[in-house]
Amino acid sequence: MDERKTALSTLESPAEKMTEALVSMKRLAANALLISEKVRGKARVMGIVKANAYGHGVHKVAEQLEASGISDFGVANIHEACELKLGGVLKKSATILAFSSPLPSHIEFFLKYGIDMTVCDYATLRAAQEIASAHDKTLAIQVKIDTGMGRLGIVPQIAMELLKEIDHSSHLELKGIYTHFAESATPEGFTRQQLAAFTKLTAEYEHASSRTICKHAANSGAILSNKDSWLDMVRPGILLYGYHPAKNTHCHLDVQPVMQVESRVIFIKQLFSGSTVSYNRTWKAPKACSIATIAIGYADGYSRALSGKARVIINGKVYPQVGTVTMDQIMVDLGTEHQVRIGDRATLFGWSGLSAEELADIAGTISYEILCGVSSRVKRVFL
């Protein structure tokens, strides 16, 4: 058994992966600066780094954002919060807010690691009171108000009593109140109703408690389209990573894509006219041609919905992807004459060629899903 362990510990694999996600720290810093300059003097910025920083690599991204002057970070849940906290890249003064409503078993970890906990209901509040009191520690709380998203949060009509109960607790500290827009790229209509309900509640609370509280509502869409929603803090997500949340936003920032996904040509073959490619034989060669196989598939995050619709760049030239996307490879049509060689880099999306937004349009989804879908087996290379 000891010999087996020794053998396993000495196993090596190639350092260079065939498929890589290049992540530009320079572009990320530039995007953060653009957002900060837009809201400067009006609101501070919380960097949203949930879902492994939208697939970009949470520790490196958070480190760069902190170097860019951001000290508030938003993650999905306590698991992501602990991962970020224990990564050791942030200053002790940094604030991490976990957006999800926690299970009672999670609460002690908020206390242990100094994470801001979201409270949406009385059951969670009372569990938090009990656990914080048992540890004789103060738990930082932020209350989420459901003004119309219908996902998480307490409705404004009953939120005031919950806020008062937090204020009366000796072991809970209210750090913020926030909400989330359902149609943030559209400043009128329902978004305006949500904002009005939220600001009415927070104004009543601040008046009743004779204190001011950090209020935040604006995600990427609202940062662009609704200055009134900036309040005390804004929460950019997709904007940080170089994309706009919707095509119909009233304002655009010159943000740049931060991630580029590249893979390698691993095989080239000649096909006769009429030959078919990939599962279910969905593509037939109209004439004799060369087909390149590239080492990326849906297990890497290159969606099967792109089958036969996308384009790939190799050596600066655009080639159509053909046949069904498989788990580990895709095929592209090189035509009858080409200069492509095994080992050449192929760009799937990023700052050259197709953007994540263009790829999303082809797949019938959004840029968020394309970015978050880049799997863990794709090596992140930080530039």
Q: What are the structural domain ranges in the chain?
A: 25-241, 259-382
Q: Give the list of residues 6+ apart from residue 43 with CB closer than 8 angstroms, or none.
A: 216, 218, 230, 231, 232, 233, 234
pLDDT of 247: 79
User: Active-site residue 50, yes or no?
Assistant: yes
Say what the pLDDT of residue 55 is.
98
- Residues 240 and 47: their CA atoms lie apart, in Å, by 8
Contact predicate 193/201, CB 8 Å:
no
Q: In the chain, pLDDT over 90 holds for what percent of residues? A: 92
Q: Which residue has the tokens 């006219």?
A: 273
Query: Per-residue confidence at 11, pLDDT binned at 50, 70, 90?
Result: low
Q: Give, for 292, the enclosing helix (H) or strand (E).
A: strand 289-294
Q: Which residue has the tokens 């109703």?
A: 193
* pLDDT (tens digit per residue) in 192-225: 999 999 999 999 999 999 999 999 999 999 999 9
CATH class assigned to 25-241: alpha beta
Percent of the chain scored above 70 by pLDDT? 96
Question: Is residue 279 annotated as a catalytic residue, yes or no?
Answer: yes
Residue 8: per-residue pLDDT = 54
Choice among 164, 269, 279, 287 that is catalytic: 279
- What pLDDT score does 22 carry? 98
State yes or no: pLDDT of 6 exceeds 60. Answer: no
pTM for the model stands at 0.93
Indicate if the pLDDT at residue 7 is higher than 80.
no
Q: Check: CB of residue 241 under 8 Å from CB of residue 257.
A: yes
DSSP code of residue 101: P
- Between residues 4 and 19, the one the model is more confident about: 19
The C-alpha atoms of residue 379 and residue 208 are separated, in whole angstroms, by: 52
Rounded CA gap, 76 and 140, in Å? 16
The 10s digit of each residue's pLDDT in 118-173 is: 999 999 999 999 999 999 999 999 999 999 999 999 999 999 999 999 999 999 99
Q: Are 98 and 76 in contact (CB under 8 A)?
A: yes
Which residue out of 38, 50, 144, 215 is catalytically annotated? 50
Phi, psi of 207 (to 5 degrees): -70, -45
Question: What is the rounded average pLDDT for all residues in the chain?
Answer: 95
Q: pLDDT value at position 353?
A: 85
- For domain 259-382, the CATH architecture is Beta Barrel (2.40)
